[in-house]
């Protein structure tokens, strides 16, 4: 399996884990010192990121990636694209599209998510 294929599969598994609120699976792919950045400069560490996933309100209908682009340089990789999710809250379905940039590093031969950023997509 090439690194590009492995990273695309890892990105899909992260989206799947978010959709299932599977914070144990997510924790396994986070690198030490993981940082998530969001709107208006909001920043959180790995523990806060996982707690945020656990606390997503309502029923998660799905989380999937609509586009993923991969750029690799040595033991570092940047994945960018669009994530789409639907959640149902009190009977209302909310459709969310977010642009994302995920920074991976290869640690002991395994790709780990070191940094992530996401913002509402137009």
Q: Give the model confidence (pLDDT) of 19-68 as tens digits.
A: 999 999 999 999 999 999 988 788 999 999 999 999 999 999 999 999 99
For the residues 108-116, what does the mean pLDDT come to?
97
Average pLDDT of the chain is 95
In the chain the domains, ranked by start, together with CATH numbers, are 3-120 (3.10.450.50)
- pLDDT for residue 33: 95
Arithmetic mean of pLDDT, 112-120? 95
Output the 3-class SS for the chain: CCHHHHHHHHHHHHHHHHHCCCHHHHHHHEEEEEEEECHHHCEEEHHHHHHHHHCCCCEEEEEEEEEEEEEEECCEEEEEEEEEEEEEECCEEEEEEEEEEEEEEEECCEEEEEEEEEEECC
Per-residue confidence (pLDDT) for residue 4, from 0 to 100: 97
């Amino acid at each position: 399996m090439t690194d590009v294929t492995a990273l695309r599969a890892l990105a899909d598994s992260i989206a799947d884990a978010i959709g299932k609120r599977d914070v144990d699976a997510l924790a396994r792919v986070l690198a030490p010192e993981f940082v998530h950045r969001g709107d208006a400069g909001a920043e959180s560490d790995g523990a806060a990121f996982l707690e945020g996933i656990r606390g997503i309100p309502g029923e998660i209908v799905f989380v999937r990636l609509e586009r993923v682009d991969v750029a690799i340089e040595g033991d570092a990789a940047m994945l960018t694209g669009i994530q789409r999710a639907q959640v149902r809250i009190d009977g209302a379905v909310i459709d969310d599209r977010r642009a994302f940039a995920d920074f991976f590093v290869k640690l002991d031969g395994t790709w780990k998510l070191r940094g992530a950023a996401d913002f509402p997509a137009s």
